[in-house]
Chains A and B, each alone.
With several copies, the nearest count.
Chain A
Amino acid sequence: MSYTVETEVFQGPFDLLLHLILTEELELYDVSLSSIVDRYLVELDRMQHTDLNVATEFLLIAATLVELKARRLLPDDDAFDLDDELALFEERDLLLARLVECKTFKDAASVLRQHSEVARQTYPRVAGVEEAFMHAAPDMLEGIDTQDLKSAFIRAKTPRPEPVLDLYHLSAVTASVDDAVRELVEELPGAGLVRFRDITASLVDRIEIVVRFLALLELFKQGLVDVTQARAFGDIELVWIGGNPEEALHALAIDRYDG
Protein backbone atom coordinates (compact mmCIF):
# COMPACT_ATOMS: atom_id res chain seq x y z
CA MET A 1 0.00 0.00 0.00
CA SER A 2 1.61 3.17 -1.09
CA TYR A 3 -0.46 5.05 1.42
CA THR A 4 1.51 3.78 4.37
CA VAL A 5 4.66 5.18 2.91
CA GLU A 6 3.09 8.54 2.39
CA THR A 7 1.93 8.75 5.96
CA GLU A 8 5.48 8.05 7.01
CA VAL A 9 7.87 10.86 6.61
CA PHE A 10 8.54 10.81 2.92
CA GLN A 11 6.14 10.78 0.07
CA GLY A 12 8.47 9.52 -2.58
CA PRO A 13 12.04 9.13 -3.63
CA PHE A 14 12.36 12.76 -4.71
CA ASP A 15 10.82 13.95 -1.52
CA LEU A 16 13.32 11.98 0.50
CA LEU A 17 16.25 13.13 -1.56
CA LEU A 18 15.11 16.74 -1.38
CA HIS A 19 14.85 16.43 2.33
CA LEU A 20 18.31 14.93 2.68
CA ILE A 21 19.95 17.54 0.53
CA LEU A 22 18.05 20.63 1.61
CA THR A 23 17.01 20.26 5.19
CA GLU A 24 19.67 18.02 6.59
CA GLU A 25 22.64 19.51 4.87
CA LEU A 26 22.20 23.19 5.23
CA GLU A 27 25.78 24.12 4.56
CA LEU A 28 25.69 24.56 0.88
CA TYR A 29 29.21 23.57 0.06
CA ASP A 30 29.46 20.88 2.64
CA VAL A 31 26.84 18.82 1.01
CA SER A 32 28.32 15.41 0.72
CA LEU A 33 27.08 13.03 -1.85
CA SER A 34 28.55 10.25 0.20
CA SER A 35 26.49 10.94 3.27
CA ILE A 36 23.38 11.57 1.22
CA VAL A 37 23.72 8.21 -0.40
CA ASP A 38 24.31 6.51 2.92
CA ARG A 39 21.33 8.13 4.52
CA TYR A 40 19.17 7.47 1.56
CA LEU A 41 20.02 3.80 1.84
CA VAL A 42 19.29 3.85 5.55
CA GLU A 43 15.87 5.32 4.87
CA LEU A 44 15.26 2.76 2.19
CA ASP A 45 16.18 0.04 4.61
CA ARG A 46 13.84 1.46 7.20
CA MET A 47 10.91 1.20 4.86
CA GLN A 48 11.19 -2.46 4.26
CA HIS A 49 7.53 -3.27 4.38
CA THR A 50 6.47 -1.30 1.41
CA ASP A 51 4.89 -2.31 -1.78
CA LEU A 52 6.96 -3.21 -4.73
CA ASN A 53 5.97 -0.23 -6.82
CA VAL A 54 7.15 2.25 -4.26
CA ALA A 55 10.27 0.32 -3.41
CA THR A 56 11.19 0.19 -7.08
CA GLU A 57 10.99 3.93 -7.36
CA PHE A 58 13.19 4.43 -4.37
CA LEU A 59 15.61 1.79 -5.57
CA LEU A 60 15.95 3.41 -8.94
CA ILE A 61 17.05 6.63 -7.34
CA ALA A 62 19.26 4.77 -4.90
CA ALA A 63 20.97 2.98 -7.76
CA THR A 64 21.66 6.26 -9.49
CA LEU A 65 23.02 7.75 -6.31
CA VAL A 66 25.24 4.79 -5.64
CA GLU A 67 26.56 5.00 -9.15
CA LEU A 68 27.34 8.67 -8.69
CA LYS A 69 29.05 7.92 -5.43
CA ALA A 70 31.04 5.04 -6.90
CA ARG A 71 32.22 7.26 -9.69
CA ARG A 72 33.46 9.76 -7.20
CA LEU A 73 35.36 7.18 -5.24
CA LEU A 74 37.02 5.60 -8.21
CA PRO A 75 40.36 7.06 -9.23
CA ASP A 76 40.54 8.73 -12.59
CA ASP A 77 40.84 5.98 -15.05
CA ASP A 78 41.97 6.33 -18.63
CA ALA A 79 39.96 3.34 -19.65
CA PHE A 80 36.63 4.74 -18.62
CA ASP A 81 33.94 4.59 -21.22
CA LEU A 82 32.97 8.07 -22.30
CA ASP A 83 29.49 6.98 -23.23
CA ASP A 84 28.91 5.55 -19.80
CA GLU A 85 30.28 8.68 -18.31
CA LEU A 86 27.99 10.88 -20.31
CA ALA A 87 25.07 8.66 -19.54
CA LEU A 88 25.79 9.16 -15.90
CA PHE A 89 25.82 12.90 -16.39
CA GLU A 90 22.47 12.60 -18.02
CA GLU A 91 21.09 10.54 -15.19
CA ARG A 92 22.30 13.10 -12.78
CA ASP A 93 20.85 16.00 -14.72
CA LEU A 94 17.57 14.25 -15.06
CA LEU A 95 17.53 13.58 -11.36
CA LEU A 96 18.32 17.21 -10.72
CA ALA A 97 15.54 18.35 -13.03
CA ARG A 98 13.08 16.11 -11.27
CA LEU A 99 14.20 17.33 -7.89
CA VAL A 100 13.66 20.90 -9.01
CA GLU A 101 10.22 20.00 -10.29
CA CYS A 102 9.36 18.19 -7.10
CA LYS A 103 10.44 21.19 -5.06
CA THR A 104 8.41 23.51 -7.28
CA PHE A 105 5.18 21.68 -6.65
CA LYS A 106 5.93 21.23 -2.99
CA ASP A 107 6.08 24.99 -2.68
CA ALA A 108 3.03 25.46 -4.87
CA ALA A 109 1.18 23.11 -2.53
CA SER A 110 1.94 25.40 0.37
CA VAL A 111 -0.12 28.10 -1.29
CA LEU A 112 -3.02 25.70 -1.61
CA ARG A 113 -2.59 24.88 2.04
CA GLN A 114 -2.84 28.56 2.96
CA HIS A 115 -5.91 28.98 0.81
CA SER A 116 -7.62 25.99 2.29
CA GLU A 117 -6.74 27.03 5.84
CA VAL A 118 -8.26 30.45 5.27
CA ALA A 119 -11.27 28.95 3.55
CA ARG A 120 -11.80 26.56 6.42
CA GLN A 121 -12.58 29.53 8.61
CA THR A 122 -15.63 30.36 6.57
CA TYR A 123 -18.78 28.43 5.85
CA PRO A 124 -20.92 29.03 2.79
CA ARG A 125 -24.61 29.65 2.99
CA VAL A 126 -26.43 26.66 1.56
CA ALA A 127 -29.97 27.16 2.82
CA GLY A 128 -31.42 27.69 -0.62
CA VAL A 129 -34.74 29.05 -1.73
CA GLU A 130 -37.58 29.46 0.77
CA GLU A 131 -40.40 26.94 0.47
CA ALA A 132 -42.77 29.69 -0.56
CA PHE A 133 -41.04 29.93 -3.90
CA MET A 134 -40.69 26.24 -4.62
CA HIS A 135 -44.03 26.09 -6.39
CA ALA A 136 -42.41 28.09 -9.14
CA ALA A 137 -39.51 25.66 -9.52
CA PRO A 138 -39.53 23.50 -12.63
CA ASP A 139 -40.50 19.91 -12.00
CA MET A 140 -37.25 18.03 -12.14
CA LEU A 141 -38.95 14.66 -12.19
CA GLU A 142 -40.87 15.39 -15.33
CA GLY A 143 -40.43 12.60 -17.84
CA ILE A 144 -38.82 10.26 -15.35
CA ASP A 145 -40.56 7.00 -14.58
CA THR A 146 -39.89 4.13 -12.25
CA GLN A 147 -37.95 2.21 -14.88
CA ASP A 148 -35.57 5.16 -15.16
CA LEU A 149 -35.13 4.97 -11.42
CA LYS A 150 -34.42 1.28 -11.56
CA SER A 151 -31.80 1.66 -14.24
CA ALA A 152 -30.26 4.61 -12.42
CA PHE A 153 -30.02 2.44 -9.34
CA ILE A 154 -28.41 -0.41 -11.24
CA ARG A 155 -26.02 2.05 -12.84
CA ALA A 156 -25.08 3.42 -9.44
CA LYS A 157 -24.58 -0.05 -8.04
CA THR A 158 -22.45 -1.23 -10.91
CA PRO A 159 -18.86 -0.81 -9.94
CA ARG A 160 -16.83 1.34 -12.21
CA PRO A 161 -13.45 -0.29 -12.40
CA GLU A 162 -10.74 2.21 -12.84
CA PRO A 163 -8.75 1.63 -15.97
CA VAL A 164 -6.09 -0.83 -15.00
CA LEU A 165 -3.77 0.14 -17.78
CA ASP A 166 -1.33 2.55 -16.27
CA LEU A 167 0.87 4.37 -18.69
CA TYR A 168 3.41 4.78 -15.99
CA HIS A 169 4.71 1.31 -16.62
CA LEU A 170 4.40 1.80 -20.30
CA SER A 171 7.69 3.47 -20.92
CA ALA A 172 7.59 1.69 -24.25
CA VAL A 173 7.08 5.08 -25.79
CA THR A 174 10.54 6.24 -24.87
CA ALA A 175 12.22 2.88 -24.97
CA SER A 176 10.99 1.95 -28.37
CA VAL A 177 12.62 4.88 -30.10
CA ASP A 178 15.70 2.83 -29.45
CA ASP A 179 14.07 -0.26 -30.93
CA ALA A 180 12.75 1.68 -33.86
CA VAL A 181 16.21 3.02 -34.62
CA ARG A 182 17.56 -0.52 -34.59
CA GLU A 183 14.80 -1.71 -36.86
CA LEU A 184 15.46 1.10 -39.30
CA VAL A 185 19.17 0.39 -39.26
CA GLU A 186 18.33 -3.17 -40.23
CA GLU A 187 15.80 -2.27 -42.89
CA LEU A 188 17.21 0.75 -44.62
CA PRO A 189 20.74 -0.08 -45.77
CA GLY A 190 20.52 -1.63 -49.18
CA ALA A 191 16.86 -0.78 -49.59
CA GLY A 192 17.57 2.23 -51.73
CA LEU A 193 15.06 5.06 -51.80
CA VAL A 194 12.06 4.26 -49.61
CA ARG A 195 8.98 6.18 -48.60
CA PHE A 196 8.17 6.76 -44.97
CA ARG A 197 4.68 5.64 -45.84
CA ASP A 198 6.03 2.24 -46.82
CA ILE A 199 8.11 1.63 -43.74
CA THR A 200 5.14 2.43 -41.52
CA ALA A 201 2.50 0.64 -43.57
CA SER A 202 2.40 -2.36 -41.27
CA LEU A 203 2.02 -0.33 -38.10
CA VAL A 204 -1.34 -0.16 -36.40
CA ASP A 205 -0.97 2.34 -33.62
CA ARG A 206 -0.39 5.97 -34.33
CA ILE A 207 2.10 6.07 -31.52
CA GLU A 208 4.22 3.45 -33.27
CA ILE A 209 4.33 5.64 -36.33
CA VAL A 210 5.29 8.61 -34.21
CA VAL A 211 8.07 6.63 -32.61
CA ARG A 212 9.33 5.54 -36.00
CA PHE A 213 9.29 9.11 -37.11
CA LEU A 214 11.32 10.12 -34.07
CA ALA A 215 13.75 7.34 -34.87
CA LEU A 216 14.01 8.62 -38.39
CA LEU A 217 14.75 12.13 -37.18
CA GLU A 218 17.42 10.65 -34.98
CA LEU A 219 19.08 8.90 -37.89
CA PHE A 220 18.83 12.05 -39.92
CA LYS A 221 20.43 14.05 -37.15
CA GLN A 222 23.26 11.57 -37.04
CA GLY A 223 23.76 11.89 -40.76
CA LEU A 224 22.87 8.28 -41.39
CA VAL A 225 19.92 8.88 -43.68
CA ASP A 226 19.02 11.52 -46.17
CA VAL A 227 15.44 12.72 -46.05
CA THR A 228 13.49 14.66 -48.65
CA GLN A 229 9.94 15.83 -48.88
CA ALA A 230 9.02 17.35 -52.21
CA ARG A 231 6.05 19.34 -50.96
CA ALA A 232 4.11 19.97 -47.80
CA PHE A 233 2.23 16.86 -46.70
CA GLY A 234 3.87 15.00 -49.54
CA ASP A 235 5.62 11.67 -49.18
CA ILE A 236 8.76 11.64 -47.13
CA GLU A 237 11.48 9.81 -48.95
CA LEU A 238 14.58 8.49 -47.30
CA VAL A 239 17.76 6.81 -48.28
CA TRP A 240 20.48 5.25 -46.17
CA ILE A 241 23.78 7.07 -46.45
CA GLY A 242 25.37 5.79 -43.26
CA GLY A 243 27.61 3.11 -44.71
CA ASN A 244 28.19 0.03 -42.61
CA PRO A 245 25.12 -0.54 -40.40
CA GLU A 246 27.15 -2.34 -37.72
CA GLU A 247 29.39 0.63 -37.16
CA ALA A 248 26.48 3.00 -37.32
CA LEU A 249 24.67 1.10 -34.60
CA HIS A 250 27.73 1.15 -32.44
CA ALA A 251 28.13 4.88 -32.83
CA LEU A 252 24.50 5.54 -32.04
CA ALA A 253 24.58 4.35 -28.45
CA ILE A 254 21.02 5.19 -27.78
CA ASP A 255 20.17 5.69 -24.22
CA ARG A 256 17.49 3.96 -22.39
CA TYR A 257 15.88 5.31 -19.34
CA ASP A 258 12.58 4.19 -18.10
CA GLY A 259 11.68 6.67 -15.43
Chain B
Amino acid sequence: MTQHTTDNDNSAEFSHDLRAAVEAVVMVSEHPVDVRLLAQLVETSVETVEMVCAGLAAEYAQQGRGFQLVRVAGGYRFQSHPDQAAYVERFVIEGQSSRLSAAALETLAIVAYKQPISRAQIAAIRGVSVDAVVRTLTHRGYIEEVSRDPGPGQAVMYGTSRLFLEKMGLDSVSDLPDLGDFVPDPTIVEALEQGLRFDASEVIDAQPAQDEDAPAAPVIDLRDSANSPSV
Protein backbone atom coordinates (compact mmCIF):
# COMPACT_ATOMS: atom_id res chain seq x y z
CA MET B 1 0.00 0.00 0.00
CA THR B 2 1.36 3.31 -0.92
CA GLN B 3 -1.42 5.69 -0.20
CA HIS B 4 -1.20 7.31 3.20
CA THR B 5 -3.45 9.98 4.35
CA THR B 6 -3.58 12.63 6.93
CA ASP B 7 -7.24 13.32 6.40
CA ASN B 8 -8.98 13.12 9.67
CA ASP B 9 -12.49 12.81 8.37
CA ASN B 10 -13.75 9.40 7.47
CA SER B 11 -12.29 9.38 4.01
CA ALA B 12 -12.24 6.07 2.24
CA GLU B 13 -8.47 6.01 2.25
CA PHE B 14 -8.19 6.50 5.94
CA SER B 15 -10.38 3.56 6.66
CA HIS B 16 -8.59 1.66 3.94
CA ASP B 17 -5.34 1.90 5.83
CA LEU B 18 -7.00 0.88 9.05
CA ARG B 19 -8.54 -2.07 7.33
CA ALA B 20 -5.19 -3.37 6.15
CA ALA B 21 -3.67 -2.93 9.61
CA VAL B 22 -6.55 -4.83 11.23
CA GLU B 23 -6.29 -7.59 8.65
CA ALA B 24 -2.58 -7.97 9.26
CA VAL B 25 -2.83 -8.14 13.03
CA VAL B 26 -5.74 -10.55 13.09
CA MET B 27 -3.99 -12.69 10.51
CA VAL B 28 -0.93 -13.25 12.69
CA SER B 29 -2.76 -13.92 15.93
CA GLU B 30 -3.25 -17.44 17.24
CA HIS B 31 -6.27 -16.41 19.23
CA PRO B 32 -9.15 -14.05 18.71
CA VAL B 33 -7.66 -10.57 19.08
CA ASP B 34 -9.39 -8.63 21.79
CA VAL B 35 -11.14 -5.60 20.31
CA ARG B 36 -9.56 -3.25 22.82
CA LEU B 37 -6.09 -4.51 22.01
CA LEU B 38 -6.86 -4.24 18.33
CA ALA B 39 -8.03 -0.67 18.76
CA GLN B 40 -4.93 0.17 20.75
CA LEU B 41 -2.57 -1.37 18.21
CA VAL B 42 -4.04 0.35 15.20
CA GLU B 43 -4.55 3.53 17.19
CA THR B 44 -8.22 4.07 16.92
CA SER B 45 -11.36 3.66 18.98
CA VAL B 46 -13.05 0.39 19.77
CA GLU B 47 -16.08 1.61 17.86
CA THR B 48 -14.05 2.24 14.74
CA VAL B 49 -12.46 -1.18 15.01
CA GLU B 50 -15.87 -2.77 15.31
CA MET B 51 -16.98 -0.84 12.27
CA VAL B 52 -13.91 -1.73 10.24
CA CYS B 53 -14.23 -5.40 11.14
CA ALA B 54 -17.90 -5.46 10.28
CA GLY B 55 -17.03 -3.88 6.94
CA LEU B 56 -14.31 -6.43 6.24
CA ALA B 57 -16.56 -9.32 7.21
CA ALA B 58 -19.20 -8.05 4.82
CA GLU B 59 -16.66 -7.65 2.03
CA TYR B 60 -15.38 -11.19 2.40
CA ALA B 61 -18.92 -12.48 2.36
CA GLN B 62 -19.80 -10.44 -0.69
CA GLN B 63 -16.68 -11.60 -2.51
CA GLY B 64 -17.45 -15.20 -1.69
CA ARG B 65 -14.19 -15.76 0.12
CA GLY B 66 -13.34 -19.10 1.67
CA PHE B 67 -12.71 -17.45 5.01
CA GLN B 68 -14.60 -15.23 7.41
CA LEU B 69 -13.74 -12.58 9.94
CA VAL B 70 -15.84 -13.27 13.02
CA ARG B 71 -16.23 -11.95 16.51
CA VAL B 72 -15.66 -14.68 19.08
CA ALA B 73 -14.90 -14.58 22.79
CA GLY B 74 -14.52 -10.81 22.81
CA GLY B 75 -12.18 -10.60 19.85
CA TYR B 76 -11.84 -11.06 16.13
CA ARG B 77 -10.41 -14.02 14.31
CA PHE B 78 -10.15 -15.42 10.83
CA GLN B 79 -11.75 -18.77 10.30
CA SER B 80 -12.66 -20.95 7.37
CA HIS B 81 -16.08 -20.47 5.83
CA PRO B 82 -18.59 -23.17 6.77
CA ASP B 83 -19.25 -23.83 3.07
CA GLN B 84 -15.70 -25.07 2.73
CA ALA B 85 -15.93 -27.42 5.70
CA ALA B 86 -15.69 -30.49 3.48
CA TYR B 87 -12.29 -29.45 2.15
CA VAL B 88 -10.92 -28.30 5.45
CA GLU B 89 -12.03 -31.43 7.25
CA ARG B 90 -9.82 -33.55 5.04
CA PHE B 91 -6.93 -31.38 5.97
CA VAL B 92 -7.32 -30.69 9.65
CA ILE B 93 -7.00 -33.84 11.66
CA GLU B 94 -5.75 -32.61 14.95
CA GLY B 95 -7.73 -30.16 16.97
CA GLN B 96 -10.96 -31.68 15.80
CA SER B 97 -12.96 -32.43 18.86
CA SER B 98 -15.48 -35.18 19.01
CA ARG B 99 -19.11 -34.31 19.54
CA LEU B 100 -20.31 -33.75 23.03
CA SER B 101 -22.77 -36.24 24.46
CA ALA B 102 -26.25 -35.16 25.45
CA ALA B 103 -25.23 -35.45 29.08
CA ALA B 104 -22.22 -33.24 28.49
CA LEU B 105 -24.27 -30.63 26.64
CA GLU B 106 -26.91 -30.47 29.34
CA THR B 107 -24.28 -30.13 32.01
CA LEU B 108 -22.57 -27.48 29.93
CA ALA B 109 -25.86 -25.62 29.63
CA ILE B 110 -26.32 -25.70 33.39
CA VAL B 111 -22.80 -24.38 33.95
CA ALA B 112 -23.19 -21.73 31.26
CA TYR B 113 -26.39 -20.37 32.74
CA LYS B 114 -25.70 -20.86 36.44
CA GLN B 115 -22.01 -20.13 36.75
CA PRO B 116 -20.32 -20.18 39.14
CA ILE B 117 -21.77 -23.48 40.21
CA SER B 118 -20.53 -26.48 42.17
CA ARG B 119 -20.73 -30.09 41.15
CA ALA B 120 -23.21 -30.72 43.92
CA GLN B 121 -25.47 -28.01 42.56
CA ILE B 122 -25.25 -29.39 39.04
CA ALA B 123 -26.01 -32.85 40.38
CA ALA B 124 -29.02 -31.51 42.23
CA ILE B 125 -30.43 -30.19 38.98
CA ARG B 126 -29.62 -33.23 36.92
CA GLY B 127 -30.60 -35.72 39.57
CA VAL B 128 -27.51 -37.83 39.04
CA SER B 129 -23.91 -37.73 39.97
CA VAL B 130 -22.09 -35.54 37.45
CA ASP B 131 -18.49 -36.24 38.42
CA ALA B 132 -17.62 -38.03 35.21
CA VAL B 133 -19.23 -35.46 32.94
CA VAL B 134 -17.67 -32.56 34.78
CA ARG B 135 -14.31 -34.24 34.49
CA THR B 136 -14.74 -34.73 30.76
CA LEU B 137 -15.74 -31.10 30.28
CA THR B 138 -12.82 -29.90 32.37
CA HIS B 139 -10.52 -32.19 30.47
CA ARG B 140 -11.63 -30.74 27.18
CA GLY B 141 -11.24 -27.27 28.55
CA TYR B 142 -14.88 -26.22 28.18
CA ILE B 143 -15.34 -25.50 31.84
CA GLU B 144 -12.85 -24.60 34.51
CA GLU B 145 -12.54 -23.97 38.18
CA VAL B 146 -13.35 -20.32 38.69
CA SER B 147 -13.55 -20.07 42.44
CA ARG B 148 -14.14 -21.87 45.70
CA ASP B 149 -17.35 -21.79 47.60
CA PRO B 150 -16.61 -19.88 50.78
CA GLY B 151 -19.00 -22.15 52.66
CA PRO B 152 -18.16 -25.39 54.38
CA GLY B 153 -16.37 -27.93 52.22
CA GLN B 154 -15.07 -25.16 49.95
CA ALA B 155 -16.64 -26.76 46.95
CA VAL B 156 -15.00 -26.04 43.62
CA MET B 157 -17.13 -23.64 41.62
CA TYR B 158 -17.12 -24.07 37.87
CA GLY B 159 -17.65 -21.65 35.02
CA THR B 160 -17.33 -21.83 31.26
CA SER B 161 -13.97 -21.05 29.72
CA ARG B 162 -12.77 -18.88 26.90
CA LEU B 163 -12.28 -22.03 24.88
CA PHE B 164 -15.96 -22.81 25.37
CA LEU B 165 -16.83 -19.51 23.71
CA GLU B 166 -14.39 -20.18 20.91
CA LYS B 167 -15.71 -23.69 20.36
CA MET B 168 -19.29 -22.48 20.36
CA GLY B 169 -18.52 -19.48 18.19
CA LEU B 170 -19.97 -17.19 20.84
CA ASP B 171 -18.79 -13.71 21.64
CA SER B 172 -19.85 -13.98 25.25
CA VAL B 173 -22.08 -16.10 27.45
CA SER B 174 -24.60 -13.30 27.48
CA ASP B 175 -25.18 -13.97 23.79
CA LEU B 176 -26.98 -17.13 24.75
CA PRO B 177 -30.75 -16.78 24.72
CA ASP B 178 -32.34 -15.92 28.01
CA LEU B 179 -32.93 -18.97 30.16
CA GLY B 180 -36.48 -17.80 30.63
CA ASP B 181 -37.07 -18.61 26.98
CA PHE B 182 -36.66 -22.27 27.78
CA VAL B 183 -39.00 -22.57 30.70
CA PRO B 184 -41.48 -25.10 29.40
CA ASP B 185 -44.70 -23.58 28.24
CA PRO B 186 -47.89 -24.05 30.22
CA THR B 187 -49.15 -27.02 28.26
CA ILE B 188 -46.02 -28.94 29.07
CA VAL B 189 -46.09 -27.95 32.70
CA GLU B 190 -49.69 -28.99 32.72
CA ALA B 191 -48.81 -32.32 31.20
CA LEU B 192 -46.16 -32.85 33.83
CA GLU B 193 -48.54 -31.81 36.53
CA GLN B 194 -51.18 -34.11 35.14
CA GLY B 195 -48.69 -36.94 35.03
CA LEU B 196 -48.02 -36.62 38.71
CA ARG B 197 -51.54 -35.93 39.86
CA PHE B 198 -52.73 -38.46 42.35
CA ASP B 199 -56.29 -37.37 42.69
CA ALA B 200 -57.66 -34.42 40.87
CA SER B 201 -60.65 -33.88 43.12
CA GLU B 202 -58.56 -34.18 46.20
CA VAL B 203 -56.20 -31.51 44.98
CA ILE B 204 -58.99 -29.02 44.81
CA ASP B 205 -60.73 -30.06 47.99
CA ALA B 206 -57.70 -30.21 50.11
CA GLN B 207 -56.52 -26.72 49.35
CA PRO B 208 -58.82 -24.59 51.53
CA ALA B 209 -58.78 -27.05 54.39
CA GLN B 210 -55.08 -26.76 54.60
CA ASP B 211 -55.14 -23.17 55.77
CA GLU B 212 -57.26 -23.41 58.84
CA ASP B 213 -56.33 -26.84 60.05
CA ALA B 214 -52.72 -27.24 59.56
CA PRO B 215 -50.23 -24.51 60.10
CA ALA B 216 -47.63 -27.10 59.31
CA ALA B 217 -47.35 -26.43 55.63
CA PRO B 218 -45.45 -23.14 55.73
CA VAL B 219 -42.67 -24.84 57.60
CA ILE B 220 -41.76 -26.50 54.40
CA ASP B 221 -40.97 -23.14 52.87
CA LEU B 222 -37.50 -23.33 54.30
CA ARG B 223 -36.77 -26.44 52.43
CA ASP B 224 -38.39 -25.15 49.31
CA SER B 225 -36.30 -22.09 49.18
CA ALA B 226 -33.19 -24.17 49.37
CA ASN B 227 -34.32 -26.41 46.59
CA SER B 228 -36.56 -24.53 44.33
CA PRO B 229 -35.40 -24.00 40.77
CA SER B 230 -34.34 -20.45 40.28
CA VAL B 231 -35.21 -20.36 36.65
Q: In the complex, A touching B, CB below 8 Å?
A: yes
Cβ contact within 8 Å between B135 and A128: yes
In the complex, which of the residues B31, B103, B169, B184 has the most CB atoms of chain A within 10 Å of its own CB atom?
B184
Quick one: which of A131-189 are within 8 Å of B by CB?
A: 133-134, 136-141, 144-150, 152-168, 170, 173-174, 177
CA distance in complex: A138, B93 (Å): 6
CA distance in complex: A152, B74 (Å): 31
In the complex, which of the residues B32, B120, B192, B193 has the most CB atoms of chain A within 10 Å of its own CB atom?
B192
- Chain B residues with CB under 8 A of A229: none
Interface status of A199 (Cβ within 8 A of chain B): no
A122, A177, A254: the one contacting B79 at CB < 8 Å is A122
CA distance in complex: A154, B74 (Å): 35
Cβ contact within 8 Å between B127 and A3: no
A22, A88, A146: the one contacting B177 at CB < 8 Å is A146
Cβ contact within 8 Å between A12 and B127: yes
Q: Mark B203-231, 1 if CB is under 8 A from A, else 0.
A: 11110011001111111101110111101
Interface size class on chain A is: 35 or more
Interface status of B106 (Cβ within 8 A of chain A): yes
CA distance in complex: A85, B177 (Å): 40
Interface status of A246 (Cβ within 8 A of chain B): no
- Chain B residues with CB under 8 A of A36: 195
Cβ contact within 8 Å between A104 and B229: yes
CA distance in complex: A94, B95 (Å): 43
Residue in chain B with minimal CB distance to A21: B195
Cβ contact within 8 Å between A156 and B170: no
Cβ contact within 8 Å between A21 and B110: no
Interface status of B125 (Cβ within 8 A of chain A): yes
Total inter-chain residue pairs, C-beta < 8 Å:
400
Interface of A is mostly: helix
Interface status of A202 (Cβ within 8 A of chain B): no
Interface status of A207 (Cβ within 8 A of chain B): yes
The count of residues in chain B whose C-beta lies closer than 8 Å to any C-beta of chain A is 117
Residue in chain A with minimal CB distance to B217: A86
Interface status of B27 (Cβ within 8 A of chain A): yes
Q: Which residues of B contact A (CB under 8 A)?
A: 24, 27-32, 67-68, 70, 72, 77-82, 85, 88-89, 91-93, 95-110, 112-113, 118-120, 123-133, 135, 139-142, 151-156, 164, 166-170, 175-177, 179, 182-184, 187-206, 209-210, 213-220, 222-224, 226-229, 231
Can you list 18 A-B contacts (CB < 8 A)? A6-B132, A15-B127, A18-B192, A29-B194, A31-B194, A86-B206, A101-B231, A106-B106, A112-B176, A116-B99, A122-B79, A137-B96, A140-B99, A146-B175, A146-B177, A157-B220, A170-B153, A252-B219
Q: Which residues of A contact B (CB under 8 A)?
A: 1-7, 11-15, 17-18, 20-22, 25, 28-29, 31, 33, 36, 53-54, 57, 61, 65, 68-69, 71-72, 76, 82-83, 85-90, 92, 94-109, 111-113, 115-116, 118-130, 133-134, 136-141, 144-150, 152-168, 170, 173-174, 177, 205-207, 214, 218, 221-222, 251-255, 257, 259
